[in-house]
Chains A and B, each alone.
Chain A
Amino acid sequence: MTRIFAIAINTWREAIRDRIYLALLGFAALLILASQVLSPLALGEGTRITRDFGLSGLVLVSLLVTIFVGTGLVQKEIERKTVMTILSKPIGRGEFVLGKYLGLLMTLAVIFIAMTALLLAVLALRGDGFNQPVLLAALLSLGEIVIMTGVAIFFSTCTSPMLSGMMTLAVFVAGHFTADLNAFAEQAASPLLAGLTAALHWIFPNLELFNARNAAAHGVMPEAVRFSLGAGYALLYTAAILLGSIVIFRRREFR
């Protein structure tokens, strides 16, 4: 565990010094403040705009960090040959992958905490008080961030940063269409097509499970069962995808 944390902290240190990360952190703050500029145009719906910008911005900025910073994490080490130095030490390949994942998650946690705190502060200043539905919706979104981080690391172990970024984005998009895939599988005329779409439905992560933004926009608390279901799903799906990453990374040869 100590070795995993050592890699995680090193990854985190490296990531927060990345200019793209700092730019995205600034962008995240700007997004919430920009909602205040739009508020006067919203005919009395300024608080709603702030909430929606904040909650959606949280997920979208995290996704951008995952794509720009996370997808090249492992590949960069391979290209620079630094991975050989690391793996020559008594560090397993699985520990390396887990360390990278945790490091990226810690990087995203900084953005998550900063954005959530800023959003709640702005809402409180607008007279919305302490907005519990918004906080809970943000916490639920964490599940989506945890899964997408795992996906980014997975692609990072097997392909170039650019392809990795595109595939991570593709999984993000597909993750919001899993219900449609399921419906398509049920209605498909061909058993082969039905089987294929059903398989895709199970393979792609169900990211809509973590979506309580619409409810939060209307001050409705997310259901308690959604949290336990979401936590379990995020844990299991991420574990599966990280295991896949470790399997792929163990078979890779570095020259």
Chain B
Amino acid sequence: MKPTREIFLVALLVGALAGASFLAAIEPRLGLRDRFTEELMYYPKGPLVQKAALGHTALAADFAWIRAVQYYGEHKRSDRKFDMMGHLVQIITDLDPQFVNAYIFGGLVMAQDARNVDAALALMEKGLKNNPDDWQMNFETGFMYYTCAGNYERAAELFRRSSRLPGASDATIRFAAFVSKRAGDPRASLFLWQEFYNRSTNDEMKARALQSIRRLEAEMGRTPTVIPDQPASTDHGAGPDRPHDAVLTPGSETPAG
């Protein structure tokens, strides 16, 4: 091939690519139909994708997850409508029922951004059913019941369950104790604050827990719990040198659950 002809062909190629790129760049400004939503409407349901994935369901879930994150970002910056979020998250969680972060992210978006609390709670309950021993799943579901649905009994139950699971953060007991009182169960609240006090090694947290214990005991008309004395200190004062050296004896009554 002659060099001039080759240069001409390369120039044509570059021109064609530049033209195509220009058209692709102006497409968003033309106000065409929301291709994201349209495209997502044709996404098949989870069980179908599961079969089509030929054993690579975790990878398929990852692709759906990336799609969901992009969908959220696009709509957060534009119309703030998240109609297809539920559909996307259902696909992800059908493909990988143990994908806890998908339930939590999807639930939060549906509850707070899409304002569809019922669908969000249904999703979280699905996550709970598939991951009953995951402390984070229990905690986040409880948090959603507390903040979005105002269902303090269910929230307290989930916070209590969460606090007993392996790896649970100390915050779970604090939440359980606080919400138990809001749910009208001060006995459970007192028990949980005492448990938190005994478990915590953070002086400030222990001091706050003790405050809550004293307040509850006063409200319930109980004798204040005694903190055992520690070995002699130079202050000659009663009480331990450091709060976290003391252990409270929990009350004789323990709440159910």
Contacts and interface: CB of A to CB of B under 8 A. Distances in A.
Interface of A: 38, 41-45, 48-49, 52-53, 55-56, 59-60, 172-173, 176-177, 180, 207-208, 211, 213-214, 217-218
B57 A214 contact: yes
Interface of B: 51, 54-59, 61-62, 65-66, 69-70, 96, 98, 101, 105
Given A42-B69, A176-B55, A211-B55, A49 B98 contact: no
A53 B62 CA distance: 9
List 8 A-B pairs, minimum CB-CB distance, nearest first.
Answer: A56-B59, A217-B58, A176-B54, A56-B56, A52-B59, A52-B58, A211-B55, A43-B69
B113 to A, nearest CB: 14
B62 A213 contact: no
Given A53-B59, A214-B96, A217-B96, A45 B65 contact: yes
11 contacts: A42-B66, A43-B105, A45-B62, A48-B62, A56-B58, A60-B56, A173-B54, A176-B55, A211-B55, A213-B58, A217-B96
Contacts of B57: 214
Contacts of A38: 66
Contacts of A60: 56
A44, A208, A218 interface centre (most CB from chain B within 10 Å): A218
Give the dominant DSSP class at A's interface: helix
B55 A52 contact: no
A213 B96 CA distance: 11
Given A42-B69, A213-B59, 16 more contacts: A41-B66, A43-B69, A43-B105, A45-B101, A49-B66, A52-B56, A53-B59, A55-B58, A56-B56, A56-B58, A59-B56, A172-B54, A208-B55, A213-B55, A217-B58, A218-B98
A235 to B, nearest CB: 21
Nearest to A35: B62
Contacts of B55: 176, 207-208, 211, 213
A167 to B, nearest CB: 16
Contacts of A44: 101
A41 B70 contact: yes
Contacts of A177: 51
A184 B151 CA distance: 45
Contacts of A214: 57-58, 96, 98
A253 B20 CA distance: 55
A171 B165 CA distance: 44
Contacts of B58: 48, 52, 55-56, 213-214, 217
